[in-house]
Amino acid sequence: MVTATRSGRRDPPGIRDTGQVPRVYRADHTAHIRDRLKRQALHFTSGVIMAVLGAITFAVLQSLQDAAPHTLTTVGRRLVILLALVAGLGLLVTGAQYLVYRRRRADLDAAGAEAIGELYARLHRPESDK
- Residue 49: closest CA among 90, 21, 10, 20: 90
Identify the band that residue 81 occupies on the pLDDT scale cut at 50, 70 and 90. Answer: very high
Q: What is the mean pLDDT of the chain?
A: 79
Where in the chain does DSSP place strands (E)?
Answer: 3-4, 10-11
Residue 67 has pLDDT above 70, yes or no: no
For residue range 118-127, list pLDDT tens digits in order.
Answer: 777 777 776 6
For residue range 20-57, list pLDDT tens digits in order.
Answer: 666 665 566 777 888 999 999 999 999 999 999 999 98
If one counts every other C-beta atom within 10 angstroms of the C-beta of residue 47, the result is 19
For residue range 8-18, list pLDDT tens digits in order.
Answer: 556 566 656 66
